[in-house]
Structure formats: C-alpha cells, structure tokens
Chains A and B, each alone.
Chain A
Amino acid sequence: MRSRKMPDGSAFAPQYASIPHRDHTAELGMWVFIATEVLLFGGLILAYFIYRHAFPHGFVEGSRHTEIVIGTVNTAVLLTSSFLVAWAVEIFSPATSRIATWLLMGAACLGLVFLVLKGIEYSKEYDAHLVPGIDFQSAGPLADGVQLFFILYFIATAIHALHVLIGICLLTTLATICRKAPTTRHHTALRSAALYWHFVDMVWIFLFALIYLPGRSSS
C-alpha cells in the first residue's frame, strides 16, 4: 500500500538512498526488535510447557481458577483494538488525519479497558488467595502444580500488561502528533507502532490459549 499524496516532511538522513529506503529500513528494524520480544515471551512459554509437562494435573487445576469471562472479553478487546490501528494505518493521509486520530485514541482506550479488566482479575485472584509469594493458599496433592501455574501466570501477564501500557503511550503520542499535517515520516512511525501493537495482541492470543482454556471440559 503506497501512501496517498502526503508531504514527505524534512529530508531523509544521509544513510538512506530514498524515502522508501528509509521506510523499509524502519520496518526491518521493527521486525528485528519483535524477534527479540518473541524470544522474551518464548522463554516464558518454554517454562510453561516444561512445568505443565511435569505437573499436568496441577496446571489444569490452576487454569480452572482463572476468570475465563474476563480473559475472553479481554481477547476480543485487544483484537478490536488491533483492527482499529490497522484501519488507521490504512487510511492515514492529510485528508483523513482527524479520523485516524480518533481511531488511534479508540485503540488506546481499548488498551486501557484491557488493563482495567486485568486489574479486576488480579484483585479477584488476590481475594481467592492465589498470588504466590504474597498470599497463596492451596491444599491437596495438586497444590505445587497450581502454585507453579500461578507464578508463570503472573509473570507472563504482568510482562504482557507492561507491553500494553507502553503500546497505549505510543498510540496516544502518535495520535497527538499526527493530528495536524501528517507526513510520510509520521506514517512510517505509525506503522512501526502498529507492528508492535499487533505483536502484543499476538502474544495475548497464545497466553489466552495456554492460561484460560485448559481444563474447561472436565469438572
């Protein structure tokens, strides 16, 4: 998708041959950054698989204690937010800068909704004595596995929530900057931020499948 008629802004840096060259480099750089993030979350997912392999029943039991309604709503919220960002990237031009700003603000608000719901979920888990290290009470033969599940649950979701928070700041900043006279440079910045936001969405898709879905079919 080539951008529509848009001012190219200030001249590009000397290391680039052209503006498309600059934009392509930015995109490749963003993918390298995402690869490092894949490995960050990949390590957590590997730990999850190994401990789930060692404590299969404890993990399923722990999973049953999570709030599937909040988890499902939050997945829909993030997917919709990603849709709004992709929409803003697609229509971005001086003529549509107001709409793009609203789309980005809408996406950032959905990100906030996600964090608020996550906070409600954490507080419910605290009330249910499910926070290892602070207040964890569980008896029975599965207690160790359940505790390991919740340790990984809190680390993975907290790191993910931090990414959502950073994403909200990025989207809000870009919405503010792009409000007037957007240039191709802004478009490139927005596309980089959009890649990050979609990646955060993708991580949640897998966390959702690993955290909330196991153990639902048996009581």
Chain B
Amino acid sequence: MSEWRPPLALIGAWLGLLALLALTVTLAYVPLGASNAVVALAIGTIKAGLVAAIFMELRHRSGLTLVFAGAGLFWLGILLWLGSMDFLTRT
C-alpha cells in the first residue's frame, strides 16, 4: 500500500526549493551592494536547476531529450548575449 507515497527525491527537492526561497528573501535584506542582484539570480538559477532535474525528470533522461531541453537555454543565451551587447558596451 505504499504505491501512493511520493519518492524521497521529490520531497527533498520541494523542501530544498522552499529553503532556497527563504534564503534568497533573507539575503535580499542583507546589504551586499551590487552582489545582491548576483546572489538573487544565482539562487534563482539553482532553484530552476532543481525543478528541471527533479520535477521535470531530466536527471533520468539522456541524449536527445537533454539536447531538446538545452536548445531553449542555448537560444536564450544568444538572445540575452547579443541583445545586451550594444547597451553594455555603449559609452
């Protein structure tokens, strides 16, 4: 009768995500200067990684699925990189 129980990995990811949420809100109130934005985005990236790896089951996937999932990220990188280059290098 244990077939309805959630796997430990799911519970761990959920609690980890809530802990990271608490951490990121707490750190937002600590004055770190320009690092505040970096910390917020870094924690956001870790949270997104947890969702992708565990909730979206990418850790069980191989090859082709990872390429398809990574393609969005790759294009996003091009969009953000080329899109912001002009603005960041303007004098």
Residues on B lying within 8 angstroms of A by beta carbon are: 3-7, 10-11, 13-14, 17-18, 21, 24-25, 28-32, 36-37, 40-41, 43-44, 47-48, 51-52, 54-57, 60, 64-65, 68-69, 71-73, 75-76, 79-80, 83-84, 87-88
**Which of B4, B40, B71 sits near A96, CB closer than 8 Å?**
B4
Q: Tell whether, in the assembled complex, residue B10 and residue A202 are in contact, meaning their CB atoms are under 8 Å apart.
A: no
With contacts defined as CB atoms under 8 Å apart, how many contacts are there between chain A and chain B in the complex? 142
Among A72, A90, A95, max chain B CB count under 10 A is at A90
**Nearest chain B CB to A89's CB is how many angstroms away?**
8
- Give Cα A194–Cα B17 distance, bound, in whole angstroms: 17
Q: Tell whether, in the assembled complex, residue B21 and residue A213 are in contact, meaning their CB atoms are under 8 Å apart.
A: no
Q: Tell whether, in the assembled complex, residue A68 and residue B25 are in contact, meaning their CB atoms are under 8 Å apart.
A: yes
Q: Tell whether, in the assembled complex, residue B10 and residue A1 are in contact, meaning their CB atoms are under 8 Å apart.
A: no
Identify whether the interface residues of A are mostly helix, strand, loop, or mixed.
helix
Name the CB-closest residue of B to A90.
B7
**Nearest chain B CB to A55's CB is how many angstroms away?**
12
**Which of B3, B4, B21, B79 sits near A79, CB closer than 8 Å?**
B21
A168 contacts the other chain (CB 8 A) = no
Q: Tell whether, in the assembled complex, residue B64 and residue A28 are in contact, meaning their CB atoms are under 8 Å apart.
A: yes
Q: Which residues of B contact A39 (CB under 8 A)?
A: 72, 75-76, 79
**Which of A49, A68, A80, A83 sits near B80, CB closer than 8 Å?**
A49
Q: Tell whether, in the assembled complex, residue A202 and residue B48 are in contact, meaning their CB atoms are under 8 Å apart.
A: yes
Size class of A's contact patch? 35 or more
**Which of A53, A72, A209 sits near B40, CB closer than 8 Å?**
A209
Q: Tell whether, in the assembled complex, residue A83 and residue B13 are in contact, meaning their CB atoms are under 8 Å apart.
A: yes
A119 contacts the other chain (CB 8 A) = no
Residues on A lying within 8 angstroms of B by beta carbon are: 1, 4, 24, 27-28, 31-32, 34-39, 42-43, 45-46, 49-50, 53-54, 68, 72, 75-76, 79-80, 82-83, 85-87, 89-91, 93, 95-96, 99, 194-195, 198-199, 201-202, 205-206, 208-210, 212-214, 216-218
Q: Tell whether, in the assembled complex, residue A75 and residue B21 are in contact, meaning their CB atoms are under 8 Å apart.
A: yes
Name the CB-closest residue of B to A207.
B44
